[in-house]
């Protein structure tokens, strides 16, 4: 349904994204093993690539390339950057599907990963550099806390605008 209703050529936003259905994670719950999720992610990715003519990038434990384990690496350049690179840069070719973005839906990342909790913190400031600095300090990839992902973005606040 998202491929019908969302047009990535008209979409914009602060959060990194590569497609209308940006990411589909398979997460082990209960006694399910991560290996089962890897198998499901890879089979599902191949099926949706064929069914919807959608480029699919495998990430996390399902990644076929080590540089694609991190979702942030798959999303590098976002939709606009991927639109330019998908057909010309072999490193940006999808794991499944066409080497071109879907006309409206873009691309999708399909993966297997452990559970995570997204925790958003709203700061009482419009100072974006401060938010980015805080994110850089606390996220694991910058040497911060283990398993923490963080980014600073400026959000619209309807309460302040009305």
Among 2, 7, 9, 15, the one annotated catalytic: 15
Can you tell me the distance from the alpha carbon of 42 to that of 64, in angstroms, rounded to the nearest whole number? 9
The answer to whether residue 15 is catalytic is yes
Within the chain, strands assigned E span 23-26, 56-60, 108-112
Can you tell me the distance from the alpha carbon of 105 to that of 122, in angstroms, rounded to the nearest whole number? 30
Contacts of 25 (CB under 8 A, 6+ apart): 41, 60, 110, 111, 112, 113
**Residues designated as active site:** 15
């Amino acid at each position: 349904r998202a491929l019908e209703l969302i047009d990535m050529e008209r979409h914009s936003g602060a959060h990194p994204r590569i497609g209308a259905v940006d990411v589909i994670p398979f997460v082990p719950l209960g006694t399910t093993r991560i290996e089962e999720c890897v198998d499901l992610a890879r089979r599902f990715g191949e099926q949706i690539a064929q069914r919807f003519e959608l480029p699919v990038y495998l990430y996390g434990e399902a990644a076929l390339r080590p540089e694609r384990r991190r979702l942030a690496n798959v999303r590098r350049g976002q939709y606009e950057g991927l639109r330019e690179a998908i057909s010309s840069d072999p490193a940006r070719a999808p794991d499944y599907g066409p080497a071109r973005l879907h006309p409206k839906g873009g691309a999708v990342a399909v993966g297997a990963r452990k559970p995570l909790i997204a925790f958003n913190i709203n700061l009482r400031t419009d100072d974006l550099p401060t938010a980015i600095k805080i994110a850089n300090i606390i996220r694991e990839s910058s040497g911060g806390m283990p398993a923490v992902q963080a980014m600073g973005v400026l959000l619209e606040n309807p309460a302040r605008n009305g």
